[in-house]
Amino acid sequence: MSSLRDQISSSSPPSFSFEAELVSWEMPRSRPRRSPNIIICGTPGTGKTSLAEKVSELSGLSHINLSKYAVDNQLVDGWDNVLNCAVLDEDKVLDNLKEKFADGGCILDYHGCDFFPEEQMDLVVVLRTETSALYDRLKARGYPERKISNNMECEIFQTILDEARESYDEAIVMELTSNAEAEQRENARTLHSWIQDWIKTHSK
């Protein structure tokens, strides 16, 4: 996608201010975040939504199930018939969420993470699940075998974890195991503690 600057004709009138126009495209920076922004990502079936809901309940931060949010707010760019899911319009998503990100306090859950700018995220959590447990979860959802196979390969080759490490400073990438309910509860406590520490540190 070409930049806004590239779209401006060289014949633009002298009164045009590129800097003023650019303000509407960038995340507002006039106020510090009061709470952290966190994205919980991972292969479908690793427990992202369940964990996000638990952490939201403990911390009071706002949970956004990004797939549902995008559909509800018409931020999609079609439908993937192979994977049977909506295709997000990433530009629309970022534009829609920039005010929420500016205030902070968002817990997003989505299978991917790489299209969110690093300055918008304070923590990137990647959930990992053993393949046997993951297969059972996906099968219970009624996924077709092709979709199950795609997701299993994604987990085996740690696609989401590599994506997170390539897109963000490793200092903000947290890998958590999510095989059983007990681990989910422990993960929720871990993230709640992290959030409390972040707020204390940034309120000084």
Looking at residue 31, what is its pLDDT? 67
Query: Residue type for 83, please?
Result: L
To the question of whether residue 48 is assigned a binding role by annotation, the answer is yes
Averaged pLDDT, 107-133: 96
To the question of whether residue 92 is assigned a binding role by annotation, the answer is no
pLDDT at 4 over 90: no
- pLDDT category of residue 5 using cuts at 50, 70 and 90: very low
- pLDDT category of residue 179 using cuts at 50, 70 and 90: very high
Looking at residue 11, what is its pLDDT? 41
Residues above pLDDT 70, as percent of the chain: 84
To the question of whether residue 201 is assigned a binding role by annotation, the answer is no
Tokens standing for 186?
């422990």
> By the 8 A CB rule, do 108 and 24 touch?
no
Look at 7 and 56; give whichever has higher pLDDT. 56
Element (H, E) at 176: strand 173-177
Looking at residue 79, what is its pLDDT? 86
- pLDDT category of residue 21 using cuts at 50, 70 and 90: very low
To the question of whether residue 50 is assigned a binding role by annotation, the answer is yes
To the question of whether residue 204 is assigned a binding role by annotation, the answer is no
Residues above pLDDT 90, as percent of the chain: 77
Averaged pLDDT, 114-118: 94
Q: Find, among 102, 103, 108, the residue nearest to 41 by Cα.
A: 108
Q: Give me the domains of the chain, ranges plus CATH numbers.
A: 40-66+105-202 (3.40.50.300)
The CA distance from 57 to 137, in Å, is 24
To the question of whether residue 128 is assigned a binding role by annotation, the answer is no
Q: The whole model's pTM is what?
A: 0.84
Q: Is 58 exposed, middle or buried (0-12, 13-18, 19+ CB in 10 A)?
A: middle
- pLDDT category of residue 84 using cuts at 50, 70 and 90: confident
Q: Where would I find the H helices in 121-173?
A: 131-140, 145-156, 159-167
Top mean-pLDDT range of 4-13, 30-39, 75-84:
30-39
Average pLDDT, the chain: 87
